[in-house]
Chains A and B, each alone.
Chain A
Amino acid sequence: DTGVSQNPRHKITKRGQNVTFRCDPISEHNRLYWYRQTLGQGPEFLTYFQNEAQLEKSRLLSDRFSAERPKGSFSTLEIQRTEQGDSAMYLCANSLWDSSNTEAFFGQGTRLTVV
């Protein structure tokens, strides 16, 4: 158990529906990442936060994707008007950003299936 919790673990949705995932990070870790992973591939960077500030959003990410981290605590990732190509594992990771650049702790992920 890394201390990073993601909910739900699995989500099946119909194409066109909106979905929201939640990540509860380690409380004192100020940096939070979202990644997407498909079978046989490495985690693909989506976006990341330093405290409550969203620092960068991948250019590959369409406007249907949005993420928030209110008050620098938990984070949500919303996908609007889901498409079959959105089916993937969505991973949240958390790290303590300081001069020592420590490792990232990952949640177990949310597996999204769009039918």
Chain B
Amino acid sequence: SQQGEEDPQALSIQEGENATMNCSYKTSINNLQWYRQNSGRGLVHLILIRSNEREKHSGRLRVTLDTSKKSSSLLITASRAADTASYFCATITMDSSYKLIFGSGTRLLVRP
């Protein structure tokens, strides 16, 4: 089963532009994380935001979390061709299991 839904499913932008991806989830969470996956490879952790936080920054990444709407957004500023990848949100659920559940992902293409 998957917890989150990313929007859009695919995004194509020009190098230098900003990319915004959204994630909605269903159940209460302990924290929300964003991961990147280059084609055919493993996932790499980007950033984690806890349920009591509203915004977090890491380099060119900005993540927001709205627990009342059960949604999060990932903003990548000044995008580069190397940012081309799939991006997934994942949540640690607050049910008894506390397991890490992934969304369906956004495929980002940054055109040089």
Measured CB to CB, the residues of A under 8 A from B are 2, 4, 33, 35, 40-45, 48, 55-56, 58-60, 89, 91, 93, 95, 97, 101-109, 111
Contact = CB atoms under 8 A, between A and B. Distances in A.
Interface residues of B, number: 28
A35 B43 CA distance: 11
Contacts of B41: 108-109
Nearest to A97: B98
Contact of B99 (A4, A40, A45, A103): A45
Contacts of B90: 104
B103 A42 contact: yes
A101 B30 contact: yes
B68 interface: no
Interface of B: 1-2, 4, 30-31, 33, 35, 40-45, 48, 50, 88, 90, 92, 97-105, 107
17 contacts: A35-B102, A40-B105, A42-B88, A42-B102, A42-B103, A44-B2, A55-B99, A56-B99, A59-B1, A93-B43, A93-B100, A95-B100, A101-B31, A103-B33, A104-B90, A106-B42, A106-B44
Given A42-B105, A43-B102, A109 B42 contact: yes
A25 to B, nearest CB: 13
A101 B103 CA distance: 18
Nearest to A59: B1
Given A42-B4, A42-B105, A45-B2, 7 more contacts: A35-B102, A43-B43, A48-B100, A55-B97, A103-B45, A104-B43, A109-B41
Nearest to B88: A42
Contact of A91 (B42, B103, B105): B42
Contact of A101 (B4, B44, B92, B104): B92
Nearest to B45: A103
B42 A33 contact: no
A21 B85 CA distance: 26
A108 to B, nearest CB: 5
A107 B43 CA distance: 8
Q: Which of B45, B100, B103 has the most CB of A within 10 A?
A: B100
